[in-house]
Amino acid sequence: AELKKASKRLTCHKRYKIQKKIREHHRKVRKEAKKRGRKKPKKDPGVPSAAPFKEELLREAEQRKQRLEELKEKQKLNRQKEHEKKRKLEAKKNAAKIKEKPEGKESSGKSKAKTNKLLDKNSKKSFCRELKKVIEASDVILEVLDARDPMGCRCPQLEQAITCSGGDKKLMLVLNKIDLVPKENLEKWLSYLKKELPTVAFKSATLMKDRTMEQVTKRRARVDLSRTTECFGSKCLLKLLQDHGRTQNKAIQVGVVGFPNVGKSSIINSLKGVRACNVGLARGVTKSMQIVHVDKQTKMLDSPSIIADPSNNALALALRSIIDTEESGSAAVLEGVDAILNHCSKQQVIMHYNIPDFRNTEEFLTLLAQKRGMLKKGGVPDVENIAKILLCDWTGARVRYHSQPPGSQRPPPYLTGDKIAEMQECFNLKYLEEENNNTVQALKYPSPASSIIFQSAGMTDGTIEENKVTEEASEWENLETSKEGEEEEEDFTESDDDDQDDVEEMDESKVQISRKTKLGKQQTSPANSEKQIAESEHSNSLSLSLDKTADEDDAYDFNTDYV
Between 364 and 323, where is the model more confident? 364
pLDDT score for 537: 46
Task: Look at residue 226 in the predicted model and tell me its pLDDT.
Answer: 40
Q: What is the pLDDT of residue 468?
A: 66
Helix axes 330-342, 361-372, angle to 10 degrees: 100
Q: Which residues contact 494 (CB under 8 A, 6 or more apart)?
A: 521, 522, 523, 524, 529, 532
More confident residue, 357 or 533: 357
Question: What pLDDT, on a 0 to 100 scale, did the predictor assign at position 56?
Answer: 87
What pLDDT score does 486 carry? 42
- The predicted structure's pLDDT at residue 16: 96
Model confidence at 224: pLDDT above 60? no
Range of lowest pLDDT (20-24, 38-42, 539-543)? 539-543
Q: Report the pLDDT value the prediction gives residue 122, as an integer from 0 to 100.
A: 60
The answer to whether residue 491 scores a pLDDT higher than 60 is no
pLDDT at position 562 is 45
H or E stretch covering 511? helix 509-519
Query: pTM of the full predicted structure?
Result: 0.59
Whether 513 and 484 have beta carbons less than 8 Å apart is answered as no
> What separation in angstroms does the CA of 83 have from each of 204, 377, 394, 406?
47, 12, 33, 50
**Residue 143's pLDDT is what?**
92
Burial label, 297 (beta-carbon count in 10 A; 0-12, 13-18, 19+): middle
Q: Helix, strand or coil for residue 424?
A: helix
Q: How confident is the model over 362-377, as pLDDT tens digits?
A: 899 999 999 988 888 8
Q: Are 381 and 353 in contact (CB under 8 A)?
A: no
- Give 405-440 pLDDT, tens digit per residue: 888 878 888 888 888 888 888 888 888 888 889 888
> Residues 432, 437, 441, CA angle at the centre, nearest 5°?
150
Pair 461, 311: CB distance under 8 Å: yes
Least confident of 248-262, 301-315, 364-378, 464-478: 464-478
**pLDDT number for residue 120:** 56
Query: Cβ distance 170 to 244 under 8 Å?
Result: yes
The per-residue pLDDT for 50 is 82
What is the distance between the alpha carbons of residues 149 and 345, in angstroms, rounded to a whole number?
A: 15
pLDDT of amino acid 287:
74
Domains and CATH numbers, the chain: 124-207+227-309+406-445 (3.40.50.300), 314-395 (1.10.1580)
Q: Which of 80-94, 217-231, 383-397 has the lowest mean pLDDT?
A: 217-231
Q: What is the residue-averaged pLDDT of the chain?
A: 75
**Confidence category of residue 174, pLDDT binned at 50, 70, 90:** very high
pLDDT (tens digit per residue) in 175-212: 998 988 999 999 999 999 988 889 999 988 775 333 33
Contact 210, 216 (CB under 8 A): no
Mean pLDDT of 50-79: 90
Report which of 499, 512, 507, 509 is spatially closest to residue 539, judged by C-alpha positions.
Answer: 499
* Backbone dihedral angles phi then psi of residue 41, each to the nearest 5 degrees: -65, 130
Q: Is the dihedral of CA 432, 433, 439, 444 positive or negative?
A: positive
For every residue of 63-129, DSSP letters joined together read HHHHHHHHHHHHHHHHHHHHHHHHHHHHHHHHHHHHHHS---HHHHHHHHHHHHHHHHHHSHHHHHH
Checking if the pLDDT of 155 tops 50, the result is: yes
| Residues 140, 424 contacting (CB under 8 angstroms) | no
